[in-house]
Structure 1
């Protein structure tokens, strides 16, 4: 998370203002992200057992729950930049969940998640008057990309160190 700790006060304020908007629209961003991921990467969809159900209401309910959890983690990371020690429990849980995915799937999985998430964050932010300025919007998206990279880095380090001990 070292890059995140080097953000300027202006960048931190921009990230905070975008976090408020994203938090208000978390379910929308999360569900749109998962829909996009499932469309673009069917192999990722297969990682989630509920997507195989014939019950549309059940699939929708589980997608919403998953999307909300995902956005809670993303927002927690964005809010925890100033005190990364707060992120250890979240990081540990993410590593436990994602440890079951092999390295090749993991690399592709997070690339798709990052790009789809950023696309949906952009869609929500550009609707807000505080992000009418394209430079401000682009700067906010770059900050969210930095947050996503921080999460992926923690997952990679945690997965590799955990799998090392499991051998």
Structure 2
């Protein structure tokens, strides 16, 4: 089942109760408090900047001197990103309520393209870096009151997170395109939902295809050059922190 949404975006994926349970369990591990959220956000942004050094131009208020993770600006930006993920988990029952927020976020990124050199394919890097770090924190042993996730649960959670992030990015992308088109006066409102590929139901995946999706992004609306992204290829030391 998919919610109908207006305009050019495909409907939100409708998670069943078990899928919601898996997502919420994963979030209880990776984002249960501000410390965990900061760790997830800063690690993800560090990876993004390693993969795309040019993306640093989007944050002129940051000083990249090797100690940027310790700065207030870096931590603030990392928390803002994680709060988007948190909003998705908190609104699993009404994901369409995020449409306006994500559309506005996309429009702000459209303005960044002209002012700071934002590129659309950054979202592909963002997606893969988030997925990598979500798995990292789910795999990492913890001493919380919540139990450790099994390997099968982690595999399932990663597939569900990928679907959620694609839906989120798609809506940001639409806002981004609207902003660019509005400034050029060429926005096409004739596109319909049927022209977009729907998000698949989890049961449509075999276990092997689920694992394969953890390794590469099959959404070809983004640059294929990141399909086999190595998150740490630019780092001298790729060990866990």
Give the TM-score normalised by the residue count of structure 2.
0.61
> Does the 8 Å contact 1:80/1:86 carry over to 2?
yes
Partner of 2:78: 67
- 1:2-151 equivalences under 5 Å are 2-5=11-14, 7-24=15-32, 25-52=36-63, 56=67, 60-102=71-113, 105-127=118-140, 128=142, 129-131=147-149, 133-151=150-168
Range that drifts further, 47-56 or 150-159: 47-56
> Does the 8 Å contact 1:37/1:45 carry over to 2?
no
Superposed CA deviations along residues 53-98 of structure 1, whole A, max 9, x for unmatched, are 6695797211100000000011102322321232134213312321
- Change in Cα spacing, 1:53 to 1:119, as seen in structure 2 (3 Å) is closer
> Does the 8 Å contact 1:50/1:58 carry over to 2?
no
Structure 1: gaps of 5 or more residues: none
Structure 2: gaps of 5 or more residues: 1-9, 185-241
Give the TM-score normalised by the residue count of structure 1.
0.85
Larger radius of gyration: 2
Matched pairs, number: 165
Q: Secondary structure at the match of 1:46?
A: helix
Question: Over aligned residues, Cα RMSD in angstroms?
Answer: 2.6
- Change in Cα spacing, 1:56 to 1:84, as seen in structure 2 (3 Å) is same
| Structure with the higher fraction of residues in helix conformation | 1
Range that drifts further, 66-75 or 85-94: 85-94
